[in-house]
């Protein structure tokens, strides 16, 4: 399974935890970087304890975003532990962390401190609300930031209780932006020899992801709410009730004629009003009722055949279980089996990109807590006597 990636030879000291930061470092690990995950003594990354489910004590949450890494346990409140991390940084290209602003500085692992050790270091930080502003020191969680940025309001059904996007969009987007900007810094370093500080936040990443919703607000001063599956800028573009379930349909503005024919009403394509995308959006409720009256007369399977015949984009509204049984998803080859030293055989998701010359991909299973402590320290130049002393003093632990 091991294949070199474009970041082969890049070493990352990863002090991130929970979801956003570890997702960022996993993306870089999948591209071939060597990632040394620095974990808390005894308990490790808090996400290890998030569950159920667990498999032989190993949690699904942790397993989902921590493959291709080595784990070392360090007591960051022990001066010897801090010095050990600093020695690791000397041989690294990137240092990553997602603690609250100021925490790393107080530990002696802030940007300025590590710059003295490694002048060309790339220091990548992810915080909840950024290093400035009134929320700087607040704890940031998925629901909090989805609520703060208006996402919960947009997804909540009319008159219903608040509803969040269940994919951890805030954390995952924040991780992607951190990985993306770290790659940019690596490119800059390759060109100039200079490292730099890379900073982003969950709040800023989520604001950027508002994209078209922000565009609607900037132009009109308001954003539609309670949308469900509706697209506020296209119609039809939503899930419609069928005879036995629901079907999602999206029609591009220049494909209205295809949809009209698929629905058995080719005359809709000749109607000058209905043919205008803006008219359909402005009269969303009226068209929704008109279309639903027809979609409820056939099953989802029947409509899928019809829409496919007319080249109209449509999909069943799958459960997650059905999604992984879908032939289109199976064809991606992203679902892989790996052997884990504690959990046994595990299933993980492989990288979503394809590089012909340097593919990268799965190399290591999610690491057992402290499973690489001795290995990592030996590779960093520590001798066995030093490692034994560090373990005896409680500065590090693990195999």
- Residues 39-73 have pLDDT tens digits of 999 999 999 999 899 999 999 999 999 999 999 99
Q: What is the pLDDT of residue 253?
A: 76
Q: What is the pLDDT of residue 295?
A: 98
Active-site positions? Answer: 171
Q: What is the pLDDT of residue 226?
A: 85
Nearest Cα neighbor of 312 from 244, 254, 233 is 254
pLDDT in tens, 116-140: 999 999 999 999 999 899 999 998 9
Average pLDDT over every residue of 287-315 = 97
pLDDT in tens, 73-120: 999 999 999 999 999 999 999 999 999 999 999 999 999 999 999 999
Average pLDDT over every residue of 278-291 = 95
Tell me which architecture the domain covering 237-327 has in CATH.
2-Layer Sandwich (3.30)
φ, ψ at 2 (rounded to 5°) = -75, 125
pLDDT in tens, 187-207: 999 999 999 999 999 999 999
Q: What is the pLDDT of residue 225?
A: 86
**From the CA atom positions of the chain, what is the Rg in Å?**
25
Nearest Cα neighbor of 259 from 247, 269, 272 is 269
Distances (CA, A) of 251 to 76, 267, 314, 324: 55, 17, 9, 25
Nearest Cα neighbor of 389 from 107, 78, 12 is 78
Q: What is the pLDDT of residue 81?
A: 97
Instruction: Kindly indicate the confidence band of residue 2, based on its pLDDT and cuts at 50, 70 and 90.
Output: low
How far is Cα 104 from Cα 111, in angstroms, rounded to an integer?
A: 8
Average pLDDT over every residue of 218-247 = 93
Q: Which residues contact 254 (CB under 8 A, 6 or more apart)?
A: none
Rounded (10°) CA dihedral 296, 302, 303, 307: -160
Instruction: Kindly indicate the confidence band of residue 160, based on its pLDDT and cuts at 50, 70 and 90.
Output: confident
pLDDT in tens, 233-249: 999 999 999 999 999 99
Percent of all residues in the chain with a pLDDT value above 70, rounded to a whole number: 99
How far is Cα 18 from Cα 97, in angstroms, rounded to an integer?
A: 11
Q: What is the pLDDT of residue 169?
A: 95
Is the pLDDT at 298 greater than 80? The verdict is yes
How far is Cα 188 from Cα 234, in angstroms, rounded to an integer?
A: 40
Mean pLDDT computed over every residue of the chain: 95
Domain boundaries, the chain: 11-209+334-397, 237-327
pTM: 0.93
Q: What is the pLDDT of residue 1?
A: 45
Q: Are 372 and 398 in contact (CB under 8 A)?
A: yes
Q: Are 95 and 124 in contact (CB under 8 A)?
A: yes
Instruction: Count other C-beta atoms under 10 Å from residue 158's C-beta.
Output: 8
**CATH assignment of 11-209+334-397, among 3.40.630.30, 3.30.9.10, 3.40.50.10540, 1.10.3720.10:** 3.40.50.10540
């Amino acid at each position: 399974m091991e294949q070199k990636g474009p970041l082969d030879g890049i070493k990352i000291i990863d002090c991130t935890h929970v979801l956003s930061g570890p997702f960022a470092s996993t993306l870089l690990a999948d591209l071939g970087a060597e990632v040394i995950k620095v974990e808390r003594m005894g308990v490790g990354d808090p996400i290890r304890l998030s569950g159920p489910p667990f498999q032989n004590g190993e949690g699904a949450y942790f397993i989902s975003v921590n493959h291709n890494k080595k784990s070392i346990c360090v007591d960051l409140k022990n001066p010897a532990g801090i010095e050990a991390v600093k020695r690791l940084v000397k041989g690294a290209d990137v240092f990553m962390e997602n603690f609250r602003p100021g925490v790393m500085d107080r530990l002696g692992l802030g940007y300025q401190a590590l710059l003295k050790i490694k002048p060309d270091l790339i220091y990548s930080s992810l915080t909840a609300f950024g290093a400035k502003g009134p929320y700087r020191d607040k704890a940031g969680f998925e629901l909090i930031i989805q609520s703060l940025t208006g996402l919960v309001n947009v997804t909540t059904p009319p008159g219903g209780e608040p509803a969040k996007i269940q994919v951890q969009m805030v954390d995952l987007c924040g991780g992607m932006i951190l990985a993306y900007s770290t790659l940019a810094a690596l490119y800059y370093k390759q060109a100039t020899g200079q490292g730099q500080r890379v900073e982003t936040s969950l709040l800023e990443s989520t604001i950027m992801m508002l994209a078209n919703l922000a565009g609607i607000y900037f132009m009109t001063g308001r954003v539609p709410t309670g949308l469900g599956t509706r697209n506020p800028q296209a119609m039809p573009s939503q899930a419609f009730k069928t005879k036995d379930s629901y079907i999602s349909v999206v029609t591009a503005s220049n494909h209205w004629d295809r949809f009209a024919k698929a629905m058995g009403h080719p005359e809709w394509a000749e109607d000058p009003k209905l043919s205008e995308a803006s008219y359909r959006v402005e009269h969303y409720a009226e068209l929704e009722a008109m279309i639903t009256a027809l979609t409820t007369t056939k099953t989802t399977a029947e409509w899928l055949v019809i829409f496919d015949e007319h080249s109209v984009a449509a999909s069943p509204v799958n459960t997650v279980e059905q999604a992984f049984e879908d032939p289109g998803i199976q064809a991606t080859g992203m679902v892989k089996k790996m052997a884990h030293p504690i959990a046994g055989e595990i299933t993980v998701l492989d990288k979503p990109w394809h590089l012909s010359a340097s593919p990268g991909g799965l190399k290591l299973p999610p690491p057992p807590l402290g499973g690489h402590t001795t290995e990592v320290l030996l590779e960093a130049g520590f001798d066995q006597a030093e490692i034994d002393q560090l373990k005896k003093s409680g500065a590090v632990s693990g195999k």
